[in-house]
Structure 1
Amino acid sequence: MLSNNGMEKVNFSGGEPFLVKHGKHLGEMVRYCKEVLKISVSIVSNGSLITEKWIKMYGKYVDILAISCDSFFEDTNKLIGRAQGRKEHIKQLRKIKDWCTEYNILFKINTVVNTYNKDENMSEEIIQLNPIRWKVFQCLLLEGENVGPQALRNAEKFYIDDDTFKEFLDRHREVPCLVPESNLQMQNSYLILDEYMRFLDCRKGSKIPSKSILDVGVTEALKFSGFDDAMFKKRGGIYKWTKEADKFSW
């Protein structure tokens, strides 16, 4: 339904998309999107459950694999909640980078700037890993999502102000792949679907669901998505998001 209404790219994120059946369901979904729908496919993961076996089996159906990395210090990752049991997050990140190179997947890194990593300088490590994009987000608070009495988790202790975010960006201004996203740029510039296929409207500082596209169709549900198309373009939402260069038209 989404493809028939013009969707050109889908991004699977979470939660952690590799949790269910060790990534088997995710693998079948990316296969379908690539083989049947012929659209660009990306995944955002913390990397902890990604294996070379999965990459060998399904990597050809993935254009971009983005790994969340908020620090290059393991102690800081533990404070943030990025600990991966006995696995070392940074070692796993480097493995995934090598797998992406070997199996022809575009590698990307996502970082959320917060209270615990705001003074870190990641320039050397990011330049060495050389992702196609380093998305740097300002920690965003949404009522019911990560703040407030109904929230499953509370992220207020992670929040940083605009000046602190700018200081982090200034410290990394020489990193060529840096793509910053402030709260203003991020909040309404994504089309987000939840597990019930409802668009989530973030304009009022919380995620307000539309009716499901399965009930009312894509066009009607989109009216309640809160999507800011102008901001999407302004923040660089259109870029080379497929590894098949001949299909890239802008």
Structure 2
Amino acid sequence: MNSTLCLMALAISIVALLKLFYFRRWKSPVSVNYHFTRRCNKTCGFCFHTATTSYMEQPDQAKKGLRLLKNAGMRKINFAGGEPFLYSKFLGEMIDFCKEDLRLESVSIVTNGSLVKESFVKKHGRNIDILAVSCDSFDEATNIEIGRGSGDQVPQLYKIRSWCMQYGIKFKINTVICRLNHQEDMNKHIDSLQPFRWKCFQVLIVAGENDSSDTLRDGRKFLITDQEYQSFCQRHSEQKSLVAESNRLMAKSYLILDEYMRFLDRDGRQPSDSILQVGVRKALESVYWDERAFKDRGGIYDWSRKEGSCSEVHQGLDW
């Protein structure tokens, strides 16, 4: 009888350890994309995080949620939207909090670039590891047709790159490869801009966001074939900064926290409850996150800023 009880206790202990290992192995929110607003000043036709609400958390509540994430294992935070620079005061406060209070390894921002000002970069740059600017074409007419352009996006991109170099921030470019730009040759500008990372996404359709004429955006007309996407990547394969993300790698490999501080689910289920209400662990358990795809797309990389200019950082990276 005693031996049976011992075996049962051992089995329970093993199950508990396996559960603990599973959570730590699969459910630690290493890198989180916090889309704190859905509002945007652009109208990109393929946008998959559209302005369906105008809600934003109060700063104290947002900080509470970010601290919960840090305690659960978050090492990198990426602020996105919508357009995060519509709320530059909130953005600056969150950036400084994440670096100075939470001591995160990496704080990054994704922006369309139109509202970035040197004064903001000068004030908060010491706490920004990566500044990523979305640029889908170096032809202003194409940018305007996509819904991102205003006639000066390319010159603004070069300005932001110079500010990053001046203030020691890693400069990154995000490009969505779609029907309007998949035949473009961008090598000349990428050679000139020298981003430390150039992410090229295959345009993605997300249910309820950009998948029909009933949604705010209908991205279906921007779709390209896998072969067309691969052809674009091959044309730019000499670019060491290129990070290609096909639909397969992108769709379920990002941990996205929405404006209500809920994890979004890209597997057809509802968003999680807010981490402010149920905690990070329970929220994560209710959504699907493909950690293998996260690693396959290079989700963990040299994401912390270094002393010196962006060009010096670029030279020191191991590709």
Q: State the aligned residue count.
A: 240
**Counterpart in the other structure of 1:47:** 113
**Counterpart in the other structure of 2:90:** 25
Alpha-carbon shift at residue 240 of structure 1 (Å)? 0.5
Please give the alpha-carbon distance, in whole angstroms, between the structure 2 residues aligned to 1:145 and 1:195: 15
Report the AA paired with residue 138 of structure 1: Q
Q: Report whether the alignment pairs 1:11 with 2:60.
A: no
Please give the alpha-carbon distance, in whole angstroms, between the structure 2 residues aligned to 1:222 and 1:244: 32
Q: Deviation per CA, 1:164-223, whole angstroms, max 9, x where unpaired?
A: 10111111111111000000000111100000010011023xx73111111111000001
Aligned mate of 1:238, from 300, 304, 308: 300
Contact conserved, 2:212 with 2:220, CA < 8 A, in 1?
Answer: no
- Of all paired residues, the percent bearing the same amino acid is 53
Q: Secondary structure at the match of 1:112?
A: strand
Structure 2 residues without counterparts, runs of 5 or longer? 1-67, 308-319
After TM superposition, the structure 1 = structure 2 runs for residues 126-141 of structure 1, keeping only pairs within 5 Å, are 126-141=190-205
User: Is the radius of gyration larger for structure 1 or structure 2?
Assistant: 2
Please give the alpha-carbon distance, in whole angstroms, between the structure 2 residues aligned to 1:110 and 1:216: 33
Q: Secondary structure at the match of 1:135?
A: strand
Please give the alpha-carbon distance, in whole angstroms, between the structure 2 residues aligned to 1:53 and 1:164: 40
**Counterpart in the other structure of 1:228:** 290
TM-score (norm 2): 0.73
Please give the alpha-carbon distance, in whole angstroms, between the structure 2 residues aligned to 1:116 and 1:125: 18
Q: Deviation per CA, 1:123-174, whole angstroms, max 9, x where unpaired?
A: 1111210001000000000111111255221111111111110111111111
Alpha-carbon shift at residue 27 of structure 1 (Å)? 0.5
After TM superposition, the structure 1 = structure 2 runs for residues 58-137 of structure 1, keeping only pairs within 5 Å, are 58-84=124-150, 88-137=152-201
> After the TM superposition, which of the residue ranges 99-108 and 154-163 deviates more from structure 2?
154-163
Q: Secondary structure at the match of 2:123?
A: helix
**Runs of 4 or more off by more than 4 Å in structure 1?**
none
Q: Deviation per CA, 1:44-102, whole angstroms, max 9, x where unpaired?
A: 00000000011111111100000000000101111111123xx5000000000000000
Contact conserved, 1:138 with 1:181, CA < 8 A, in 2?
Answer: yes
**Counterpart in the other structure of 1:248:** none
Higher relative contact order (CA 8 A, sep 6+): 2
